Amino acid sequence: MSEQPIDRYRRRLLGGAVAAGTLTLAPGVFLHRIAEAKTDAEPVTSIVRWGLLVDTGKCSDCTACVDACREEHGWHGHDRPRSDAQWIRKVELRDRSTGRRVSLPMMCQHCAEPPCVDVCPTGASFKRADGIVLVDKHICIGCRYCMMACPYKARSFVHEDLTDQKPHSPRGKGTVESCTLCVHRVDAGQQPACVEACAQDGGGALLFGDLNDPRSAIHQALATFPSTQVRADLGLDLGVRYRGL
């Protein structure tokens, strides 16, 4: 992670102050900064489009990304596999003809044309200007039409009362939720929890950054190597890309 992409915000906001406290989470845990954050008062813009590149060649059987996400957002579950939330999951693939095996994380693909946003009756499913697809749980009525519409099974419905939610990740009974691309961290200039965990405890298979910025590592990687969008035939223009499928 030496070649950190320089965020456009940084260029626009030289000297933009960020609390020094966000640099260290706990003693010894260093947060890889991908960028100086936008200031808190600044709205997100469509100049940026956040994306994620998964290099399946570096992805092994580990579940560091899943564990980190669960910890970050507190979706610990109730030992009911069918109804417990899964914001991110490890998927094992086997080629029917050749037997080649691939392991990869699957989560909200942050489509540019998200079907969940199209079908949501109240507009609770929405896409932020910077491409992150979210649920506004304040106006989600829990109809679950987005779950019917999502091609990736990325969304979960909260089936029971919750307590002790993480302050930065509100979740509640009767609403639908999914990967937020760790929007609270991204807004603070950090990387999503899964990316950080994969770099630290996994194979370093996840690369996060601004798809729009030609100088970003993710942009350059996508420009150099072939990559795939899952169910590209649907034409949804995904924010999450896979390499080595």
Partner 1 sequence: MRTRFLEVDTSKGYLLLLGLLGALLAAGLGAAWIMEHHGHHVTGMDNQIVWGLPHVFAVFLIVAASGALNVASIGSVFGKMPYKPLARLSGLLAIALLAGGLMILVLDLGRPDRLIVAMTTYNFKSIFAWNIFLYNGFFLIVAAYLWTLMDRTVSEHAGRVGLFAFVWRLILTTGTGSIFGFLIAREAYDAAIMAPLFIALSLVYGKAIFILVATGLFRGTGRELDTSLLSRLRVLLGTFIAAALLLTAAQHLTNLYAAEHLAAEMLILRDGGSITQAFWIGQILLGSLLPMWLLLNPAFRGNCGALLAACVLVILGGLATMYVTIIGGQSVPLELFPGMEISSSFFDGEVIHYAPSLPELGLGLGGGALALLVVLVGVRVLPFLPDALPSSAAADD
Partner 2 sequence: MLRLLSTLLLLLATLPATAAEEGGRVPLPVIDSGTAEQCVEPVEFMRRNHMELILHQRDETVYRGIRTKQQSLRNCINCHAVDAAGQPVSLDDPQHFCVSCHRYAAVKIDCFQCHSGTPEEGVPGVVGARAWSRGLAMESAR
Q: Which does 210 bind (CB under 5 to 8 A by kind): partner 1, partner 2, none?
A: none
Site string for partner 2, 67-106 (x = CB under 8 A): ----------------------------------------
Contacting residue, 89, 90, 126, 159, with partner 2 by CB under 8 A: 126
> Does residue 161 bind partner 2 (CB under 8 A)?
yes
Residue 64: partners with Cβ closer than 8 Å, 6 or more residues away: 194, 197, 198, 200, 201, 202
Quick one: which H or E segment has residue 50?
Answer: strand 50-55
Are residues 207 and 51 in contact, defined by beta-carbon separation less than 8 angstroms? no
For residues 172 and 142, what is the distance between their CA atoms, to the nearest angstrom?
Answer: 11
Structure tokens that stand for 84 in this block: 């417990």
Residue 46: strand, helix, or coil: coil
Q: Around Cβ 26, how many Cβ atoms within 10 Å?
A: 7
> Does residue 6 bind partner 1 (CB under 8 A)?
no
CB nearer partner 1, residue 100 or residue 214: 100
CB nearer partner 2, residue 167 or residue 226: 167
Handedness of CA 37, 40, 46, 50 (dihedral sign): positive
Structure tokens that stand for 215 in this block: 């100088």
> Does residue 42 bind partner 1 (CB under 8 A)?
no
- Residue 182 one-letter amino acid: C
Bridge partner residues of 54 (DSSP): 206, 242
Contacting residue, 119, 201, 227, 244, with partner 1 by CB under 8 A: 119
Quick one: which H or E segment has residue 224?
Answer: helix 217-224
Are residues 4 and 34 in contact, defined by beta-carbon separation less than 8 angstroms? yes
Q: Strand ranges (DSSP E) for 121-167?
A: 125-127, 133-135, 156-157
Please count the residues of this chain forming the interface with partner 1, following the rule CB under 8 A.
56
Site string for partner 2, 17-56 (x = CB under 8 A): x-x------------------xxxxxxx------------
> Does residue 134 bind partner 2 (CB under 8 A)?
yes
Q: Which does 12 bind (CB under 5 to 8 A by kind): partner 1, partner 2, none?
A: none
> Does residue 183 bind partner 2 (CB under 8 A)?
yes
State the residues that interact with partner 2 by CB under 8 A: 17, 19, 38-44, 126, 128-130, 134, 136-138, 161-162, 164-168, 170-173, 175, 183-184, 187-188
State the residues that interact with partner 1 by CB under 8 A: 78, 80-86, 89-97, 102, 106, 115, 117-123, 139-145, 147-153, 155-161, 173-176, 230-231, 234, 245
